[in-house]
């Protein structure tokens, strides 16, 4: 089944993805023209644009008046440093069993599905619907990723879309790569993030009993799915050393965190802007590979209700998350997948896209010459940690 053949099964409403009802819903979190597509005044844009600050209406703010003072949360800093040192030291210095390496990779991939197909495309953007068994699996999977509970994740993400690159954006990329990547988790939130976050309509998310259940029992669920099961399986099933089991679990956790964070940092700073040159999110192929299809970020910010988070599905582009959702649809677990029609996309590109003269032939196509090679590269990169650790183990043996 291709993305286009899948279209035949879609509700006509979702082929266009922009009915009156969905417009009303999208207003909650889409960066519409009145909010985020507005560029800073040219006088300020000609200055050092990346060091400026913008309020939630995207008006440039005088730095002397803007409350962008960084208040470091040292507990988070030391925790992150400890986690990284512990995980990397164990990763390169221990004799890990092959089963444990594969297990850590599997848990990492499982946790990614919950974030990408669950927290992001399902709960944050409502780009498709899912029956309760799938939502339950996605909730467990997202818990394994330990990136805050679904309610908090969705609220932060909706604020990010609606107030992108302003002080209300939790990981405002105008504050630099490191801040957008992980710095925002190491300091207190900007007051605007809290103010605007409190205004985000979360009623649809709260209406889901699975989300409410996860939020109520989040800590026990984290201990079970993030901490206990990933660690006990290698110890019990193939007698792995407890130190190695713990550190590999931490390593797969940190790897998936960095992959997710790259969407907020690299995909907001490096890449092309085929669909809207006036916003900062970019099309970043490397990020798309590492996040199974979340790097087509310029498209995603322009059309966030598309369940594929990209113009092309998995058949013409590397996008394993879309393949996963399509597989779920084949089994009747996912439905009402929303996409954007070509005419809407082309119309948007003609109005706001990057001028064609600045793009080479492949870029003008907006997709790779060979989807097979593209997918092969993406799948190979998905195994980078496994390949690296097998190499280290091999070198240790020699
Ligand atoms: Zn973004
Ligand atoms: Zn999004």
| Consecutive 10-residue averages of pLDDT for the chain (398 residues) | 35 32 38 35 35 49 57 94 90 84 95 97 97 98 96 95 93 94 93 90 96 97 97 95 93 95 96 91 94 95 95 90 97 96 91 73 70 89 86 77
Distance 301 CA to ligand 1 centre (A): 6
On whether the CB atoms of residues 337 and 14 are closer than 8 A, the answer is: yes
Centroid of ligand 1 to alpha carbon of 92 (angstroms): 33
User: What's the 299 CA to ligand 1 centre distance in angstroms?
Assistant: 10
Ligand 1 centre to CA of 101 (Å) is 31
- The pLDDT value recorded for residue 44 is 34
Is 262 part of any domain?
yes
Whose atoms come closest to the Cα of 124: which ligand? 2
The pLDDT of residue 10? 36
Torsions phi, psi of 380, nearest 5?
Answer: -65, -40
Ligand 1 mean position to 266 CA, how many Å? Answer: 10
Give me ligand 2 centre to Cα 125, in Å.
7
How many domains does the chain contain in total?
1
Distance 252 CA to ligand 2 centre (A): 23
Task: Report the alpha-carbon distance of residue 348 to residue 385 in Å, rounded.
Answer: 39
Q: Using the mean position of ligand 1's atoms as its centre, give its distance from the Cα of residue 154 in Å.
A: 13
Cα 116 to ligand 2 centroid, rounded to whole Å: 9
The ligand minimizing its distance to the Cα of 309 is 2
C-alpha of residue 30 to centroid of ligand 2, in Å: 9
60 lies in some domain: no
Q: Which ligand is nearest to the CA of 30?
A: 2
- Residue 164 inside a domain? The answer is no
- Tell me, yes or no, whether 74 lies in a domain: yes
pTM for the full predicted model: 0.82
- Are 93 and 247 in contact by the 8 Å Cβ rule? The answer is no
Q: How far is the CA of 243 from the centre of ligand 2 (A)?
A: 37
Establish if 175 belongs to a structural domain: no
Task: Classify each residue of 303-324 as buried b or exposed e, where b means 16 or more C-beta atoms within 10 Å of its C-beta.
Answer: bbbbbbbbbbbbbbbbbbbbbb
What's the 294 CA to ligand 1 centre distance in angstroms?
A: 10
Q: How far apart are CA 142 and CA 16, in angstroms?
A: 29
In a domain, 135, yes or no: yes
Q: Which residues form the domain of 316?
A: 3-30+70-145+211-397
In a domain, 152, yes or no: no
Residues flanking ion ligand 1, Cβ below 5 Å: 281
| Distance from the alpha carbon of residue 161 to the mean position of ligand 2, in angstroms | 7
Which ligand gives the minimal distance to the CA of 158? 2
| Distance from Cα 78 to the centre of ligand 2, integer Å | 29
CA 124 to ligand 2 centroid distance, Å = 7
Question: Relative to the alpha carbon of 297, which ligand is closest?
Answer: 1
Ligand 1 centre distance from Cα of residue 316 (Å) = 23
Q: Tell how far the Cα of 22 is from the centroid of ligand 2, in angstroms.
A: 16
CA of 171 to the centre of ligand 2 (A): 13
State the distance from the centre of ligand 2 to the C-alpha of 287, rounded, in angstroms.
14
Q: Which ligand is nearest to the CA of 265?
A: 1
What local confidence, expressed as pLDDT, does residue 73 receive?
94
């Amino acid at each position: 089944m291709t993305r286009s053949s899948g279209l035949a099964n879609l509700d006509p409403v979702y082929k266009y993805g922009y009915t009156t009802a969905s417009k009303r819903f999208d207003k909650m979190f889409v960066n519409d023209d009145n909010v985020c597509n507005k560029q800073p005044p040219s006088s300020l844009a000609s200055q050092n644009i990346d060091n400026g600050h913008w309020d939630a209406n995207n008006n440039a703010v005088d730095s002397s008046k803007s409350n962008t003072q960084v208040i470091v949360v040292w507990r988070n800093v030391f925790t992150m440093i400890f986690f990284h040192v512990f995980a990397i030291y164990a990763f390169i210095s221990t004799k890990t069993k092959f089963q444990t390496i594969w297990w850590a990779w599997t848990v990492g991939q499982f946790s990614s599905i919950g974030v990408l197909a669950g927290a992001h495309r399902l709960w944050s953007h409502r780009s498709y619907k899912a029956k309760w068994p799938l939502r339950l699996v996605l909730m467990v999977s997202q818990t394994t990723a330990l990136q805050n509970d679904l309610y908090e994740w969705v609220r932060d993400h909706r604020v990010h879309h609606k107030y992108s690159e302003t002080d209300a954006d939790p990981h405002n990329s105008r504050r630099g790569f490191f801040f957008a990547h992980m710095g925002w988790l190491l300091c207190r939130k900007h007051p605007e993030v809290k103010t605007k976050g409190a205004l985000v309509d979360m009623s649809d998310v709260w209406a889901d009993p699975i989300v409410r259940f996860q939020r109520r029992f989040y800590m026990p669920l984290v201990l079970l799915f993030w901490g206990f099961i990933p660690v006990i399986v290698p110890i019990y099933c193939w007698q792995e050393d407890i130190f190695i089991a713990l550190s590999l679990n931490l390593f797969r956790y940190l790897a998936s965190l960095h992959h997710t964070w790259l969407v907020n940092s690299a995909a907001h700073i490096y890449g092309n802007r085929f669909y809207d040159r006036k916003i900062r999110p970019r099309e970043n192929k490397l990020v798309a590979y590492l996040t199974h299809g979340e790097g087509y970020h310029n498209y995603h910010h322009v059309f966030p209700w598309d369940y594929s988070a990209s113009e092309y599905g998995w058949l013409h582009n590397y996008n394993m998350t879309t393949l996963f959702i399509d597989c779920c649809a084949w089994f009747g677990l996912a439905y009402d997948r929303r996409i954007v029609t070509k005419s809407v996309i082309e119309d948007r590109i003609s109005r706001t896209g990057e001028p064609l003269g600045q793009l080479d032939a492949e870029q003008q196509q907006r997709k790779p010459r060979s989807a097979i090679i593209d997918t092969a590269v993406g799948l190979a990169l998905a195994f980078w940690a496994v390949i690296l650790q097998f190499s280290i183990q091999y070198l240790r043996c020699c």
